[in-house]
Structure 1
């Protein structure tokens, strides 16, 4: 099995390092000092309680060097993907599966969903239909990413917590391609359940990202603080309830209620969200996939989202002022 990780940062590097310790043929597309380090000395993974493991890895900044793959993991920020659709084409053959490990509402959301919105395309996450037309939704296997990791130095990944990558076909079927990838990830020591309702898991994760990320970036508050403060907890609750109404119109079932989701955020502790980190590090902020997409779905379904709209306006202006949106 040939697997390429496109965007081998923290999460992509973690997957690559784990798979490279099995008989899977792994390659990565990366850039800059991180790429140079992997080409020179391989990829190093540090997991708690274990000695660092270094594995040789085939790495390039040019997909044409790596050739067609069985699976391509896309582990970039959502806003970065449309711009690389063309450069990814050398990795894609007739039977290649694209594993969409990207946060937020995915561009393929309405593919094989059925119902009145079947085939709807989302401008907020796929401007100009770049991914829909350039990849094709039939190639996609959904993936909800749960681990946390960080790049501690070029070529070095530190795993922080979690090892689950939930997989799911857009139509909910138990496909051979999902089963084979699940087996390969499991052989690498990762949890990779195949879910019949992958969109439910997408929304459960999005529930927190939609609210916690922009609120934390605006207030510079960690999860424990913003979930304990009466005011910011109320804002997050309002955003979540609006999102829940939108999602349930689309057939999503939430396994827990809003208060449990908020308590779960608080239990994470003094964690800086990725959006706050991006603001501090002056990296483009992942606003559209996490927030604007839910606004677009609200407009599509006729559900009012006033709290989401307010927070979206604030975080977009904050990002524009910083030159990051």
Structure 2
């Protein structure tokens, strides 16, 4: 089985090492820059629980057109990079092969597979696929969904470190347990990865979004770590309000989420980690504003749920994202490594 990790950064490199070291597939990676150069020269290394595992992918490239057709493409690109990559993703697929999207926030395939008349089906997803490239080049039918619980960090080019857990939840947009979903699940499981299948993957996506939406944006806007943010009473209450708004919108769409707000805003349960959006801010990278906040705002409005806290934070974060895009990325060597 030929498998390509498209966008082999921190999470993607973790998956690549797991699959390749277990010998369950012929694994290729699409990466770039110094990380790609190091993979080509020394291989790709994952450090997990004190153990170093190094593999040499079958192919390591920044040009996916050089790869043969793939039986499974695993995209770990950030959502704001997907539209530009749509043609390459489409060309890389073997006939009828799936693209497994491991994403934060609301995914671009969100309305696909929902029953007609479902409260969450009518809202537009133009923020997630603004020029329609993903729908045009791939089509909804190509997509498998995934939720990742795996904090990783590229500590040097070619070397990734996993922090704490490494868990994946996979699902079909239409809620079926299809042969291709079972195949992807079995591939991860054969590599020793903690993986499960979920018929209602949107419930899992919304649950993780509740946590991301109250943490990532506030850390990015304040430059505070997750722990530092929750030590401030005002920011802690603002985070709680965002959680309440996302939960209310989710329930109006048909998903009642079981989230302990006190626990999620308790600084005692969180170490000094830097969420991904804070990492991107420090590195001068574009932010995943729309999948994390903007699309949730659209969905909430479509079911008549007011979101004043989310509305304000979304405006501010779009402003920060605009600044970062105009300023360009600083020299990564001048910034200390951060947990991814």
TM-score (norm. length: structure 1)? 0.94
Contact 1:225 1:266 in 2 (8 A): no
Contact 1:283 1:324 in 2 (8 A): no
Q: Which residue of 1 aligns with 2:334?
A: none
Contact 1:14 1:45 in 2 (8 A): yes
Contact 1:109 1:170 in 2 (8 A): yes
Contact 1:121 1:129 in 2 (8 A): no
Spell out the pairing of 1:206-285 with structure 2 (5 A cutoff): 206-263=209-266, 267-285=269-287
Q: Which residue of 1 aligns with 2:5?
A: 5
- CA positional deviation for 1:324: 5.9
1:24 and 1:92 mapped to 2: Cα distance? 15
- CA positional deviation for 1:120: 5.1
2:318 and 2:204 mapped to 1: Cα distance? 26
Structure 1: state its 5+ residue gaps. Answer: none
Spell out, residue by residue over 1:158-183, the C-alpha distance to the aligned partner (whole angstroms, 9 max, x if none).
11121111011112111111112111
1:46 and 1:227 mapped to 2: Cα distance? 29
1:216 and 1:40 mapped to 2: Cα distance? 36
- Relative distance call for 1:138 and 1:89 in structure 2 (3 A) is closer
- Relative distance call for 1:70 and 1:120 in structure 2 (3 A) is farther
1:55 and 1:145 mapped to 2: Cα distance? 22
Matched, 1:319 2:316: no
- The count of corresponding residues between Structure 1 and Structure 2 is 323
Matched, 1:170 2:167: no
Q: Which residue of 1 aligns with 2:308?
A: 306
2:27 and 2:325 mapped to 1: Cα distance? 36
Matched, 1:201 2:204: yes
Spell out the pairing of 1:73-222 with structure 2 (5 A cutoff): 73-116=74-117, 117-118=120-121, 121-222=124-225
1:324 and 1:271 mapped to 2: Cα distance? 27
- CA positional deviation for 1:301: 2.0
Matched, 1:64 2:65: yes
1:55 and 1:3 mapped to 2: Cα distance? 15
2:260 and 2:254 mapped to 1: Cα distance? 16
- Relative distance call for 1:241 and 1:268 in structure 2 (3 A) is same
- CA positional deviation for 1:111: 0.7
Contact 1:111 1:119 in 2 (8 A): no
- CA positional deviation for 1:150: 1.1
Spell out, residue by residue over 1:44-103, the C-alpha distance to the aligned partner (whole angstroms, 9 max, x if none).
1111222x2211111111112112111111101110111111122321132211111011
1:177 and 1:219 mapped to 2: Cα distance? 42
Q: Which residue of 2 aligns with 1:26?
A: 27
Deviates more, 1:248-257 or 1:21-30: 248-257
- Relative distance call for 1:266 and 1:253 in structure 2 (3 A) is farther
2:190 and 2:89 mapped to 1: Cα distance? 27
2:103 and 2:261 mapped to 1: Cα distance? 23
Structure 2: state its 5+ residue gaps. Answer: 328-340
- Relative distance call for 1:137 and 1:322 in structure 2 (3 A) is closer
Contact 2:150 2:167 in 1 (8 A): yes
- CA positional deviation for 1:259: 2.6
- Relative distance call for 1:150 and 1:254 in structure 2 (3 A) is same
Q: Which residue of 2 aligns with 1:36?
A: 37
